[in-house]
């Protein structure tokens, strides 16, 4: 797929500088430098350089298969679980290289949490779903503290009122939208610094989507959020910055308003106006 002709506007070499717009920010939480990700011999991410700012929402958009998920999963090393996946370049979280040999992925993933495309609550009770992370990381010293964490997480995820009377019932018995908010509650229960969301609303109806978007908006006060989305409107609504990927490359990145009203790169403009993608 990578051998396919370089699309218009991307003829010159594959240097990171090719990205249009400002990839750097003033106080970055995550800095990615010249990141390449391979699946076997296949290059899925090609020289991406990008800063992710603290307590902001950045959305990744781009056509299917362009590597948004791959890049997102590189940020908390979820790609490690795929045997054939290999990564080159450098990703730092708060100035620390997360791919350094001494880094343990367990605390890393506690700091960089993840919400998946399909709601995937554990087949356990609602309470246990949220309590699982704090339990394994030893965040609560007693039951009361754990109860507090669970309650607060569910409240922050906007799910408390709906489930407070049925905490012992299975999480899988909730509606899709509720399940996704449960997954968000589960993620924030371990107090991460960054939350990665891979198309969190793609399995939800518009009302559930609106709730999640509202939630993302609120959470951005406290967390740094990276969201992959196929919905232009969603990106426009929830994010401060937007990054457009194409065939494994980061084509353009900038303030969301700027990107949507006045994209600099021709490919971005084509994609946003629906001419391809």
Partner 1 sequence: MTDRQDMTTPGAKSDGMMSPDVAARRVAASIGGRRQRERRFKSYGLIAIGIALAFLVILFASIFSKGIPGFFQHYVTLEVTLDRAKLDPAGDLSLQSLYDGDARGAIRAALYEATGASGRSGRKAAGKIISQGAEQRLRKAVIDDPSILGTTQSMVFAVDDDVDSFLRGFISRDTPEADRRINDKMIGYIDQLVADNRIEYAFSDYLIFGSASRNAEMAGIFGAFVGSMLTLSVCLVLAFPLGVATAVYLEEFAPKNRLTEIIEININNLAAVPSVVFGILGLAIFIGIFGMPRSIPLIGGVVLALMTLPTIIISSRAAIRAVPPSIRDAALGVGASRMQTMLHHVVPLAMPGMLTGTIIGMAQALGETAPLLMIGMVAFIVDVPGSVTDPGTVLPVQIFMWADFAERMFVQKTSAAIIVLLAFLISMNAAAIFIRKKLERRW
Using CB under 5 A as the criterion, which residues of the chain lie in contact with Mg ion when the complex forms? Answer: 69
Nearest to 185 by CA among 135, 123, 115: 115
| Of 3 and 83, CB closest to partner 1 | 83
Binds partner 1 by CB under 8 A, chosen from 83, 165, 206, 207: 83
240-251 b/e (C-beta count within 10 Å ≥ 16 → b): bbbbbbbbbbbb
The span from the CA of 181 to the CA of 203, in Å, is 12
Contact 229, 201 (CB under 8 A): yes
Asked if residue 41 binds partner 1 (CB under 8 A), the reply is: no
Asked if residue 124 binds partner 1 (CB under 8 A), the reply is: yes
Contact 59, 238 (CB under 8 A): yes
The span from the CA of 193 to the CA of 131, in Å, is 18
Of residues 174-233, those binding partner 1 (CB under 8 A): 183, 186-187, 189-190
The enclosing H or E element of 135 equals helix 126-137
Binds ligand ATP by CB under 6 A, chosen from 29, 68, 109, 265: 68
Of residues 216-245, those binding ligand ATP (CB under 6 A): none
Work out how close the CB of 37 gets to ligand ATP at its nearest, in angstroms, rounded to a whole number.
Answer: 8
CA-to-CA separations, 260 to 63, 153, 275, in angstroms, rounded: 16, 33, 14
| Of 80 and 258, CB closest to Mg ion | 80
* Alpha-carbon torsion (39, 45, 46, 52), positive or negative: negative
Nearest to 133 by CA among 193, 196, 93, 185: 185
Binds partner 1 by CB under 8 A, chosen from 28, 113, 200, 254: 113
- HSE-up of 174 (CA within 13 Å, CB side)? 32
Binds partner 1 by CB under 8 A, chosen from 23, 37, 66, 78: 78
Work out how close the CB of 184 gets to ligand ATP at its nearest, in angstroms, rounded to a whole number.
Answer: 19
Asked if residue 64 binds ligand ATP (CB under 6 A), the reply is: yes
Work out how close the CB of 71 gets to ligand ATP at its nearest, in angstroms, rounded to a whole number.
Answer: 7
| Of 131 and 227, CB closest to Mg ion | 227
| Of 16 and 121, CB closest to partner 1 | 121
How many angstroms separate the most distant Cα atoms in the chain? 60
Residue 146 interacting partner from Mg ion, partner 1, ligand ATP, none (CB closer than 5 to 8 Å by kind):
none
Contact 125, 169 (CB under 8 A): yes
* Alpha-carbon torsion (54, 25, 33, 58), positive or negative: positive
Count, residues near partner 1 per rule CB under 8 A: 30
Residues engaged in binding partner 1 (CB under 8 A) = 76, 78, 81, 83, 106-110, 113-116, 118, 120-124, 132-133, 136-137, 170, 172, 183, 186-187, 189-190
Residues engaged in binding ligand ATP (CB under 6 A) = 1, 39, 44, 62, 64-70, 82
């Amino acid at each position: 797929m990578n051998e396919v002709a370089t699309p218009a506007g991307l003829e010159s070499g594959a240097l990171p500088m090719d990205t249009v717009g400002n990839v750097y920010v003033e106080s970055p939480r995550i800095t990615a430098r010249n990141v390449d990700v391979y699946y076997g011999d296949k290059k899925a991410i090609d020289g991406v350089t990008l800063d992710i700012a603290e307590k902001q929402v950045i959305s990744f958009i781009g056509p299917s298969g362009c590597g948004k998920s791959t890049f997102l999963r590189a940020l908390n090393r979820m790609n490690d679980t795929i045997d054939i996946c290999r990564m080159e370049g450098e990703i730092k979280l708060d100035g620390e290289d997360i791919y350094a040999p001494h880094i343990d992925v367990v605390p890393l993933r506690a700091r960089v949490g993840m919400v998946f495309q399909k709601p995937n609550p554990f087949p356990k009770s609602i309470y246990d779903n949220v309590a699982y992370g704090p339990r394994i990381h030893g965040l609560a010293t007693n039951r009361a503290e754990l109860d507090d964490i669970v309650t607060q997480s569910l409240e922050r995820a906007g799910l408390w009122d709906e489930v407070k009377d049925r905490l012992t019932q299975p999480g899988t018995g909730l509606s899709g939208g509720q399940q996704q908010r449960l997954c968000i509650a589960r993620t924030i229960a371990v107090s991460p610094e960054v939350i990665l969301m891979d198309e969190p609303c793609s399995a939800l109806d518009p009302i559930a989507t609106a709730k999640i978007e509202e939630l993302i908006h609120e959470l951005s006060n406290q967390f740094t959020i990276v969201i992959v989305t196929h919905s232009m409107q969603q990106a426009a609504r929830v994010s401060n910055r937007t990054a457009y990927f194409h065939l494994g490359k980061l084509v353009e990145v900038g303030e969301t308003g700027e990107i949507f009203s006045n994209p600099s790169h021709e490919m971005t403009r084509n994609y946003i106006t629906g001419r391809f993608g």
